[in-house]
C-alpha cells in the first residue's frame, strides 16, 4: 500500500494541476485545502522538487508550479518520488523470501508490472478530469 | 505484499499439482521439500481445505490431494484463501485515509483490479509449466 505521504503528494500535484497556467500556488493554500499543516506540505513539495515535478518561484507572488504540463506527469512519477521504483511487491520481502518460495517471485514481479503499467499510463490531466466529473469533489 | 503464509501455501498447492493424478501426498513430504515444519504446513493445508482447494484422504496411503484440477485453480484462489478479497491496496488504509485523499481511491482500486485480473488469470497448471521449464527448479 502507498504511504500517506505519497497520497498527499499526489493530492498536492493535483491541486497544482488544477491551477496550472494561472500562476504559482502557495504552500499554505494547498495545505489549507487539504487540511494538513503547512510544514508537512512543504516537506512533500521539497520531495516533489527533488523529483523535478514541481518548481518553486520566488517573489511577492511566489509559490509552486508544476515543472511539466499535467498531461506530461503520471501517477507513477509521483509514486516513485515518494516510494522509489519497487513499491508493491519487491521491497525486501523478495530478498528475504526463502529459496523455496523465491522461484515464484516471477508472479509477484509480473503483478507489480501490471500496477506500474497502469500507474504510468495514468496522466495527472486525466485524474483531474475524472475528479472534476465527480460531484462530491471539492477543489482548491 | 503477500504474507509468507500465502507464499508457502501457493508452494504447497504447486507440489500437489505436480503430483496430481498420482495419489495423495503426505504433509511431511511437502513440508520436507519446502524445508518447513510439518505443523506449519498442516496449518496451511487446513486453511486450504477450508477454502475447498485441497482435500484430505484417510487410510494407510492417506494424505492430501487437490480438490480441483490444476487448470481449475488460479493463484488468486490461493491468495484469497490466506488474505481475503482485498489484499493489496484497500485493507484498512482506504478506510483510514483522510477525506482529502479518499477521492483518489479509485486509482488504487483500479490498480488493485489489475493485479486481481492477472492473478485470477494465472492457472496453477500454467505456473507449474513455467517452473518446470526453469532449470534451477527442484520438485517434490
Using an 8 Å Cβ cutoff, are B78 and B48 in contact? yes
ipTM higher than 0.85? no
Q: Would you put residue A61 in left (φ > 0), alpha (ψ -120 to 50) or beta?
A: alpha
The upper half-sphere exposure of residue B17, i.e. CA atoms within 13 Å in the direction of its Cβ, equals: 26
Grid cell for residue B57 = 484422504
Give the domains, in start order, of chain B with CATH numbers: 4-132 (1.10.10.10)
Check whether A135 has a pLDDT greater than 50. yes
First to last CA, chain A: 26
Please give the full DSSP string across A40-81, using - where no structure is assigned: HHHHHHHHHHHTTSEEEE-STT-EEEESS-GGG-BHHHHHHH
Which residues of A touch chain B, with CB atoms under 8 Å apart? Answer: 1-2, 4, 7-8, 10-11, 14, 33-36, 75, 88-89, 91, 93, 97-98, 100-101, 103-104, 106-108, 110-111, 114-115, 117-119, 122, 127, 130-131, 134, 136-137
Of A44-53, A101-110, A129-138, minimum mean pLDDT range: A129-138
Q: Would you put residue B90 in left (φ > 0), alpha (ψ -120 to 50) or beta?
A: alpha
| pLDDT score for A91 | 44
Q: Work out whether strand A54-57 and strand B54-57 pair parallel, antiparallel, or are unpaired.
A: unpaired
Q: pLDDT tens, B13-62?
A: 999 999 999 999 999 999 988 888 999 999 999 999 999 999 999 888 88
Grid cell for residue A111 = 503483478
What's the rounded Cα separation, in Å, for the pair B75 and B89? 18
Residue A73 binned pLDDT confidence (cut-offs 50, 70, 90): very high
Torsion angle defined by CA atoms of residues B89, B94, B98 and B100, in that order, rounded to the nearest 10 degrees: 70
Question: Residue B55, SS3?
Answer: strand
Non-local (6+) Cβ contacts of A59 within 8 A are none
Amino acid at each position: 500500500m502507498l504511504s500517506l505521504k505519497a497520497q498527499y503528494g499526489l493530492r498536492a500535484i493535483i491541486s497544482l494541476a488544477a491551477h496550472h497556467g494561472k500562476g504559482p500556488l502557495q504552500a499554505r493554500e494547498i495545505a489549507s485545502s487539504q487540511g494538513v499543516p503547512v510544514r508537512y506540505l512543504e516537506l512533500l513539495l521539497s520531495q516533489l522538487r527533488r523529483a523535478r515535478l514541481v518548481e518553486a518561484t520566488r517573489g511577492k507572488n511566489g509559490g509552486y508550479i508544476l515543472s511539466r504540463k499535467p498531461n506530461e506527469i503520471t501517477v507513477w512519477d509521483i509514486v516513485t518520488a515518494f516510494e522509489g521504483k519497487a513499491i508493491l511487491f519487491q521491497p525486501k520481502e523478495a530478498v528475504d523470501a526463502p529459496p523455496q518460495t523465491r522461484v515464484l517471485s516471477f508472479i509477484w514481479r509480473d503483478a507489480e508490472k501490471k500496477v506500474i503499467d497502469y500507474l504510468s499510463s495514468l496522466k495527472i490531466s486525466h485524474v483531474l478530469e475524472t475528479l472534476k466529473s465527480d460531484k462530491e469533489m471539492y477543489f482548491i
